Structure 1
C-alpha cells in the first residue's frame, strides 16, 4: 500500500574519483562545507557526529543572505558503502530519509542517492519543487570537488 518505491526519488552519478576520495568528501566536515548545497550557496558545518545515532547539522546561506538549516541523525553507516540518515531541510523538506550508496568501479565511484518520503503525495510535491535540479546541482559540486 505505502510502497517505499513509490515515495522515493533517486539520483545516480559516476564520480571520476576513487571511492576513498568520494567517501572522505562526504564524511569529513572540512570537505562537506566545500560542496554541500546547490551552486552559489555557502555551507557551515555546525554539528557532525559521524557515527550511528550521531547528529549532523549544517547552515546554508543563499546568495540573498537568507539561511536555512539542514539536520538529521545517522541511522546506518557501512564504511565506504552506505550512509543512511534522517534529514530535514527546513523550511522546504522535513522528515525524509536519505540513503547515500557508494560503489568502487576501478578509479571511479558509482554513487546512488535515494530520498525516501513519508507519503507518495509528499514525494510528488518534493519532485515538483525541484528535487532533481537541487540535488543535481549539489552532486555537480561534489563531482567538481573530488575531480580537482
Structure 2
C-alpha cells in the first residue's frame, strides 16, 4: 500500500513564562478550554487529557452560536515532560510539539501534517491563532 507524503506545517510562539507553567497550561483540560479555538466566536466547552504514551486526549471545539462543533483528539506516542509531546490525531496525521528555553521564555514549536481538505496557508493560520491564544492565556493568567 502506498502512503501519501503529507505536507508538514510548522508554527511557533515564544511564551514568556516558566516551563512548569507552560507545560501545565498546555496540557491541563481546564486551561485547554481557555485557549483551544481559532476565533472569538468559537470556544472549547470540553476537554480531557491522559498525558502519557498510549493516552488519549479530546477537546470539543464549537461555534458559540451552537451551529457547529467537532472533537479534536488523538493518542500520544511520546511524552517527555517539559520537552516534547508527539501524537497521532484521530485521522492518522502526526503532530510533534517541542518546548525549549529561549530568550527568558519557552519556545513552543508545533509541526503537524496538513490535511487535504483546506489550503495549507489556512491550516497554518488557524493553528497559529490557537497557539497565539495559548501564549496570551499563559502570559496573562
Q: TM-score, normalised by structure 2?
A: 0.84
In the other structure, the counterpart of 2:35 is: 35
Unaligned stretches of 5+ in structure 2?
A: none
C-alpha contact (below 8 Å) 1:7/1:123 kept by paired residues = no
CA distance in 1, matches of 2:120, 2:95: 14
Structure-2 change in CA distance of 1:18 and 1:49 (3 Å): same
1:116 is displaced (CA, Å) by 2.5
1:76 is displaced (CA, Å) by 0.3
Cα RMSD, aligned residues only: 2.2
Q: Of Structure 1 and Structure 2, which has the larger fraction of its residues in helix?
A: 1
CA distance in 2, matches of 1:108, 1:56: 26
Aligned residues: 136
CA distance in 2, matches of 1:72, 1:14: 25
Structure-2 change in CA distance of 1:127 and 1:107 (3 Å): same
User: Is the deviation greater in 16-25 or in 66-75?
Assistant: 16-25
In the other structure, the counterpart of 1:127 is: 120
Unaligned stretches of 5+ in structure 1?
A: 89-93
In the other structure, the counterpart of 2:76 is: 74
Q: TM-score, normalised by structure 1?
A: 0.81
Structure-2 change in CA distance of 1:3 and 1:68 (3 Å): closer
Please list every run of at least 4 consecutive aligned residues from structure 1 whose deviation after the TM superposition is greater than 6 angstroms.
Answer: none
In the other structure, the counterpart of 2:63 is: 62
